[in-house]
Amino acid sequence: MELNNGQYEIGGVSVLSLCKEYGTPLYVYDAAIIERQYNRLMNAFPNKNMKISYACKALTNISILKFIKNLGANLDTVSIQEVQLGLKAGFAPKDIMYTPNCVNIDEINKAVGFGVQINIDNISILEQFGHLYGNTYPVCVRINPHIMAGGNKKISTGHIDSKFGISIYQLRHLERVVASNNIRINGLHMHTGSDILDADVFLRGAEILFEAARSFKDLEFMDFGSGFKVKYSADDNTTNIEELGEKLGIRFEEFCKEYGRDLTIMFEPGKFLVSESGYLFVRTNVIKQTTSTVFAGVDSGQNHLIRPMMYDAYHHITNVSNPNGIQRIYSVVGYICETDTFGWDRKLNEVHEGDILVLHNAGAYGYSMSSNYNSRYRPAEVLVYKGLAKLIRRRENLEDLLATQLDVEF
Ligand SMILES: *Cc1c(COP(=O)(O)O)cnc(C)c1O
């Protein structure tokens, strides 16, 4: 978002005119940022066999999936429904990775029916899979290397208490199950959670995977998951992608030589690709002065963007209606009957009732985690690319709320 002649714009389109045309609350995505992030990650790695699978749980709108497919990406999915959305968006089954967690074997059978790459994260399901398919359907396994990503247990999946992955300490057991069922393991996977700051943490995980790879002779790829940290506030640190690309990329090529085959190196970023591209525009309904603070109450809440309340995530806020106003301190809160605070003590250009505020970095886990709580409608979504803005999801209405309900009287 840039300020041009006193007007905020996204990719050359005035944000206030978007809010006028489509109403608020409104999600707007800048496709140029998604493209920039994709290219940055691809260019950071020297490897010729490199694939990025977009972890679509971050933002699943089908127009976004198509845009990312056209960049050349694969798709990373965590449910059969995401698999189906991916197929609908035009991804080839072989380009879809399905990494479920704690699902029933029936859902995995469905995924086999669709022909997608399956990634299994526990020994019990792997055993059942082996009984059903033997070596006729290759499968990837998710290893938990128990490296700790970041300090936040809510978003880390690599710690010892995590429910994700097959523990590296179970490698012998895993080998036994694979051998006795004649299972063909074509990939090894790790995803240790969000917010890895340090390239060396990734490298430690990679070394553990390289070591484990000696037990599997049919590998075609290795998937190092995601965890690329994104800047939410101005003083946030981020993963040094270029340093990681250089170090891990070179180490991976050495490993391929030892292994004796050119494998594909894969990553599954969600946040990294789409977080910065997204903006949530909200309208100020009321300015409410209490004894302790000034609240700006807006026409949105935890039903549309739950990250501040769920993860204590910081989302930068800007008043786009009054770019030159004097700065004052506000607590920006939602209209849901919960304490749904978007931000305490934010310095904003003076806010008047009716002003449009924007929550930045709302592309990942924004709309995709939204709900109808308080029977509110979910917002519309707009995608901007090369000066053009297109509606990619209409706002909900009362019929949508009632669509699945049966009106029964006793
Ligand atoms: C959520 C998830 C990702 C993406 O994580 P981000 O932090 O959004 O990059 C990647 N892989 C798997 C298996 C996931 O569950």
Nearest to 79 by CA among 40, 122, 113, 111: 111
Render pLDDT for 21-30 as a digit per residue (tens, 0 to 9): 999 999 999 9
Q: What is the CATH number of domain 99-268?
A: 3.20.20.10
From the CA of 128, how far away is ligand 1's center (Å)?
25
Report the nearest atom of ligand 1 relative to the CA of 99: 13
CB 307 less than 6 A from any atom of ligand 1? no
Ligand 1 centroid, distance to 8 Cα (angstroms): 31
pLDDT above 90 (res 379): yes
Pick the more confident residue, 214 or 195: 214
Q: Which of 51, 76, 142 to mutate to test the pocket of ligand 1 (most atoms within 8 A of CB)?
A: 76
169: Cα separation from own chain's centroid: 28
- Using one digit for the tens of pLDDT, what is the confidence trace for 40-89? 999 999 999 999 999 999 999 999 999 999 999 999 999 999 999 999 99
Query: In this predicted model, what pLDDT tens digit does every residue of 382-405 receive, in sequence order?
Result: 999 999 999 999 999 999 999 999
| Residue pair 185/138 in contact by the 8 Å Cβ criterion | yes
Answer yes or no: is the C-beta of 194 below 6 A from any ligand 1 atom. yes
Q: What is the DSSP letter of 321?
A: T
pLDDT digits (tens, 9 = 90+) for 337-373: 999 999 999 999 999 999 999 999 999 999 999 999 9
Identify which of 51, 57, 152, 273 to mutate to test ligand 1's pocket (most ligand atoms within 8 A of the CB).
57
- Residues designated as active site: 337
239 lines ligand 1 (CB under 6 A): no
Q: 192 CA distance to ligand 1 centroid (A)? A: 9
User: How many angstroms is it from 6 CA to the middle of ligand 1?
Assistant: 38
C-alpha 112 – ligand 1 centre gap (Å)? 22
Closest by CA to 101, choosing from 131, 124, 69, is: 124
**pLDDT the model gives residue 238:** 83
Q: Locate all alpha helices (DSSP H) within 79-198, ordered by sequence.
A: 80-88, 105-114, 123-133, 171-181
Q: Which of 194, 223, 230, 368 to mutate to test the pocket of ligand 1 (most atoms within 8 A of CB)?
A: 194
Q: Which CATH superfamily is domain 2-29+275-402 in?
A: Lyase, Ornithine Decarboxylase; Chain A, domain 1 (2.40.37.10)
- Is 78 near ligand 1, meaning CB less than 6 Å away? yes
For residue 199, the model assigns a pLDDT of 83
Ligand 1 binding pocket includes 225 (Cβ within 6 Å): yes
**Average per-residue pLDDT for the chain:** 94
- List the chain domain ranges: 2-29+275-402, 99-268
Q: pLDDT of 292-310, one tens digit each?
A: 999 999 999 999 999 999 9
**What is the CB neighbour count within 10 angstroms for residue 2?**
10
